[in-house]
Chain A
Amino acid sequence: MNLTIYLEIFGGTSLSNDKDSVISLTGAKKYFGAVHALEDGQIDLFAGEAHALVGENGAGKSTLVKIFAGLHRPDSGSLKFDGNEVFFNSPRDAIEAGVAVIYQEPTLFPDLTVAENIFMERQPQRSFRRIDYRSMNKAARVIFSRLEVDLDPTRLALGLSIAEQQIVEIAKALSLEARVIIMDEPTAALSSVEVHRLFRVAETLKNSGVAILFISHRLDEVFTLCERVTVMRDGRFVLTTMSSETNEDALVRAMVGRDVERRSDQIRGIDLKPLLEVEHLTLEGLFADISFTVAAGEVVALSGLVGAGRSEVATAIFGVRRYDYGSVKVGGKALKRGSPSSAMAAGIGLVPEDRRLQGLVMEQSIARNIAMGSFKSLKRKGLIRSLTETRFAADWSVKLQIKYGNLGNSVSTLSGGNQQKVVLAKWMSRSPKVLIVDEPTRGIDIGTKAEVHRLILELAKSGVAVLVISSELPEVLNLADRILVMREGRLVAEFDHKGATEEAIIAAATLSKEVKAA
């Protein structure tokens, strides 16, 4: 690799330095149908340096990573490696060029040893093409000592913590002589001790001249590890700066920086008698000491980063997941722990995060899916006539303006937005007292999104207590009367409708310091 060409990407701004650019992406665009995942992807990685990429959910970070990993080809733009234009058509191309990606949850062979995981398909061989286990284990040891990590190459990968699995992936990358290592939210599932350990490994990598792209939602980590930061927003490059020349507040402003649509009507908080009461809910390893209430007619949003434990709390309230301690009450009556039927009997409905897997029976008809939650009230003499079912479904389809060809068609024929409306219809038709909606508008076009928002607000006006979980801040700000923020399994902040800003919510969800309610 003596062919290193110095590149001045930023046109002689203060960013140019004496380091060599290893890989750079400029003007990258990527569309999926009508969705613009990436409008202007731009980043430049230097040898021996960690470069952070930050932005909200949906800013285009993952798309950019997938371009580097060879999983996506950009529709336009240029990717340069050592100053030469390159095209990655497959993950294999990227690996051969020397780009390795460490994902949040690595894919290892649990039943094979750590050394085998590193050298699979590339095991050193001795006479008669037999695998040379001794030199394989030795090579693994050399890599681990280079990483200053004490991991036994001969142990099974089974039972390795996620942090250890990531170390194995990094070792694999080093055995491939990777010069660029991309870490896609590696710390999201790690404890603080493990994060510390990972950073030590990353420092070692930097010292040996590897270029690191580090993606994280935690800004404190960005400042600890990275020399350079790039901010993206809505698929566009916003800025690149040396981390010594900026601060957390400035980054948060750059990440948000757009006008926010606000709900005009005031909080309907006259009769604020809590309907749903959650007290000290704890599930070891996932969330701890969660207490909050939702009143009838109120919309409360549970905000925070992906992986903060929001969906886990929702499923625990609904009884799908057993919690260790705490209680859930509806109208003052405690629910049986770990019993969805008890939750449903008390009037709780859950519109789950993944509608295809959890919310719908994809092969069944639209009518069946809508009526599914109301079989008890629809049956006559123990039987349900399909005419009753269809009429019932037709009623609700009109109310929710579901666009369909035929109610007898399978629900998989609908668009994502209309599928979501079917799930909503299923629960609304049960006239719930409490409705929990998890990521109600993920992957839905803007028009339908507004309709879903309207439905949720109407439901609240009719006296339902609504708990919304959403990663989209504009949605949270638009819908919620109160906003609760979770970080790492705990409630860390609460805002009312007036006091909340995107900046404050992001700060509470990402920063390590405690943020008090505004």
Chain B
Amino acid sequence: MTLIEQNSQSNPSNSGSSVELVPSGASKFTSLVFRAREFGIFGILFIFVLLTTAIKPRFLAGQNIKFILIDTTIFALLALGETMVVVSKNVDLSIGSILGLSAFVSSNLYQQFHHVSIVFVFAVGIGIGLVLGVVNGVLIAFGRVPSLVVTLASLYIFRGLDVLIVGGRQVVASSLPSNFLSVTSASFGAIPIISIVVAIVVFGGAYYLKNYRSGRDLYAIGSSEQAAGLVGIPIAKRVFTAFAISGAIAGLAGVIWASYYGTIDSTAGTGYEFTVVTAVVVGGVAIFGGSGSAIGAAIGALLLNTINSSLYVLGVSAFWDQAISGLLLILAIALDRGIGLYLAKSLRKRSSRVAS
């Protein structure tokens, strides 16, 4: 502290002559863009809700809102795990297959045994997800195989395992006890209880990522693995944990899925991974790692599900739903890329030492 005094003495007009590192226009620009993205998401959401309601007022009926929210709940939960993975510059494509396996095996317990505790059913679902996530994590973090390759392979392997176990069978809603079905049917007004619970979990996850060293480590790894190594971040351990948690979350989502749909065969959750990755990226998580939040990802999931539902209510072909998702994805990535290019260019001009 004496140093500061000493310096301010030797340099009395401290404020006037202090070295000025002007906050660059670039940083203002980025924060503006990030805000623009949030406004953009809510803007699109608002437009879809308004237009759809104007044409088909039943869009805002309690039952439809409940459908949208429960779908969003499952995707937002998956997006939490995916966010942890994506901020560390990885990707988990196996979550749809994990969800499918977990959904069937956990709900099938009710068909095989007479008295099964619901806690046990959830534990089995989460446990399956955790084990499969650990398999991914070991190969990626310790085997040093790119996550895209590992989880693309495990997408097929886990699904194959699912088909092998399920065969031609299916679990039907009538075989499931009412307490299990009420996990997703109980609601508080138009808002399902499970949505509130998952919202708390997502907020908790986002809080952890923001406020704990191990959470920040994931962002640091995604931002620059080289710099992460230099400051001594245990990279492999953190990446492994992210995949294990992503798997466990997919397992949990599987049980919720089973409770909601009631009818479970070997196709449960097929293609979910792409919807989730889209939601995550649209919600502002950079696909090349380093930034974004689980809350943004959840908002992305809400947007995609709302669009999906509004097009369904309007009777528009499902093709348009997919086309719009794709368009949003490209927009989101183009936005990130645009910021990067803009910054690189302004930086080159600014730090140029060539006299002209």
- What residues make up the interface of A, taking CB atoms closer than 8 Å to B? 91-92, 107-112, 116, 120-121, 123, 125, 129-131, 142, 145-152, 155-156, 158-164, 167, 189-192, 194, 197, 200-201, 204, 207-208, 284-288, 309, 488-490
A161 with B351: CB separation less than 8 A: yes
A148-B11, A150-B18 known; A111 vs B349 contact (CB < 8 Å): no
Separation of A26 and B21 alpha carbons in the complex (Å): 39
Q: Does B319 contact A (CB under 8 A)?
A: no
Contacts A110-B223, A159-B27, A208-B3 hold; do A150 and B354 have CB atoms under 8 A apart?
Answer: no
CA distance A130 to B211 in the complex (A): 5
> In the complex, which of the residues B233, B348, B349, B350 has the most CB atoms of chain A within 10 Å of its own CB atom?
B350
| A263 CB → nearest B CB, Å | 33
Interface-centre pick from A148, A288, A309, A489 (highest chain B CB count, 10 A):
A148
Is B317 on the interface with A (CB-CB < 8 A)?
no
Listed residue (B21, B348, B352) with the most chain A CB atoms within 10 angstroms of its CB: B21
Query: Counting CB contacts under 8 A, is B19 at the interface?
Result: yes
List chain A residues, Cβ under 8 A from B343. Answer: 158-159
Q: Could you say which residues of chain B place their CB within 8 Å of the CB of A191?
A: 351-353
A108 to B223, CA, bound (A): 9
CA distance A489 to B351 in the complex (A): 13
Whole-angstrom distance between the alpha carbons of A421 and B290 in the complex? 43
Q: Is the CB of B233 within 8 A of A120?
A: yes
Q: Are B354 and A488 in contact (CB under 8 A)?
A: yes
Q: Which of A149, A190, A208, A489 contacts B19 (CB 8 A)?
A: A149
Known interface pairs A121-B232, A284-B352. Does A161 touch B347 (Cβ–Cβ under 8 Å)? Answer: yes
- Complex contact A285–B354 (CB within 8 A): yes
B6 CB-CB contact with A under 8 Å: yes
Which residue of chain B has its CB nearest to the CB of A158? B343
Whether the Cβ atoms of B212 and A131 lie closer than 8 Å is: yes
Interface string of B106-136 (1 = CB under 8 A from A): 0000000000000000000000000000000
A112 & B216 in contact (Cβ 8 Å cutoff): yes
Q: Would you mind naming 25 contact pairs between A and B with Cβ atoms under 8 Å apart?
A: A107-B230, A109-B227, A110-B290, A111-B289, A116-B220, A120-B216, A123-B216, A130-B212, A131-B212, A146-B3, A148-B7, A149-B18, A151-B21, A156-B27, A158-B27, A158-B343, A163-B351, A191-B352, A207-B10, A285-B349, A285-B351, A285-B354, A288-B355, A488-B355, A489-B353
Q: How far is the CA of A152 from the CA of B350 in the complex (A)?
A: 18
Q: In the complex, are the beta carbons of A150 and B212 less than 8 A apart?
A: no
CB-CB under 8 A from A125, the residues of chain B are: 213
Residues of A within 8 A of B27 (CB): 155-156, 158-159
Q: Mark B218-251, 1 if CB is under 8 A from A, else 0.
A: 0110111011101111000000000000000000
Docked pose: A125 CA to B214 CA in angstroms: 12
Determine how close the nearest CB of chain A comes to the CB of B10; give it in whole angstroms.
7
Q: Which residues of A contact B211 (CB under 8 A)?
A: 130-131
Which residues of A lie under 8 Å from residue B223 when comparing CB positions? 109-112
- Asked if residues A107 and B354 are in contact (CB atoms below 8 Å), the reply is no
Expressed in whole angstroms, the Cα–Cα distance for A129 and B50 within the complex equals 45
Tell me whether A111 and B291 are in contact (CB under 8 A). Answer: yes
B233 touches A108 (CB 8 A): no
Give CA–CA (A474, B212) in the complex, Å.
56
For the complex with contacts A150-B19, A285-B352, 15 further pairs of A-B residues with Cβ separation under 8 Å are: A107-B226, A108-B224, A109-B290, A110-B224, A146-B7, A152-B23, A159-B24, A159-B26, A189-B351, A200-B19, A204-B7, A207-B6, A208-B6, A284-B348, A287-B354
Query: With the chains together, A392 CA to B86 CA distance in Å?
Result: 50
List the A side residues contacting B216 at CB < 8 Å: 112, 116, 120, 123, 131
Q: A116: nearest residue on chain B (CB-CB)? A: B216
Could you say which residues of chain A place their CB within 8 Å of the CB of B353? 189-192, 488-489
**Interface residue? B4 (CB, 8 A):** yes
For the complex, is B286 an interface residue (Cβ under 8 Å from A)?
yes
Which of B19, B219, B228, B346 has its CB near the most chain A CB atoms (within 10 A)? B19
Assess whether B64 is interfacial by the CB under 8 Å rule. no
Question: In the complex the two chains form, is A112's CB within 8 Å of B220's CB?
Answer: yes
Q: Shortest beta-carbon distance, B327 to chain A, in Å?
A: 26
Q: Which of A91, A161, A192 has the most CB of B within 10 A?
A: A161
Which B residues are in CB contact (< 8 Å) with A288? Answer: 354-356
* CB nearest neighbor in A for B25: A159
Question: How far apart sit A142 and B1, CA to CA, in the bound complex (Å)?
Answer: 9
Interface flag for B175 (CB, 8 Å): no
Please encode chain B, from 25 to 37, with 1 for each CB lying within 8 Å of some chain A CB and 0 for all others: 0110010000000
- Assembled-state Cα–Cα distance A487/B353 (Å): 10
Are B355 and A108 interface neighbours, CB within 8 A? no
Indicate which residue in B4, B10, B224 contacts A107 across the interface (CB closer than 8 Å): B224
- Contact partner of B213 (CB less than 8 A), chosen from A91, A131, A151, A156, is A131
Which of B18, B19, B23, B226 contacts A155 (CB under 8 A)? B23
Residue among A145, A190, A204, A287 making CB contact with B351, cutoff 8 Å? A190
Q: Per-residue CB proximity of B8-50 to A under 8 Å, as 1/0? A: 0011001000111111101100100000000000000000000
Point out the residues of chain B lying under 8 angstroms from A162, CB to CB.
351
* Complex-state Cα separation, A107 to B3, whole angstroms: 28
Report how far A120 CA is from B289 CA in the complex, Å. 17
Closest to A155 in B: B27
The listed residue (A108, A123, A148, A164) touching B14 by CB distance below 8 A is A148
Could you tell me which residues of chain B, from 321 to 356, have a CB within 8 Å of some CB in chain A? Answer: 343, 346-356
Q: Is the CB of A159 within 8 A of B11?
A: no
Give Cα A502 to B314, complex, Å. 80
CA A164 to CA B347, docked complex, whole Å? 11
Contact A159 B212 (CB under 8 A): no
Closest partner residue, chain A, to B20 (CB atom): A150
Task: Assess A142 versus B212: contact at CB under 8 Å? Given A191-B352, A287-B354.
Answer: no
Q: Are B349 and A284 in contact (CB under 8 A)?
A: yes
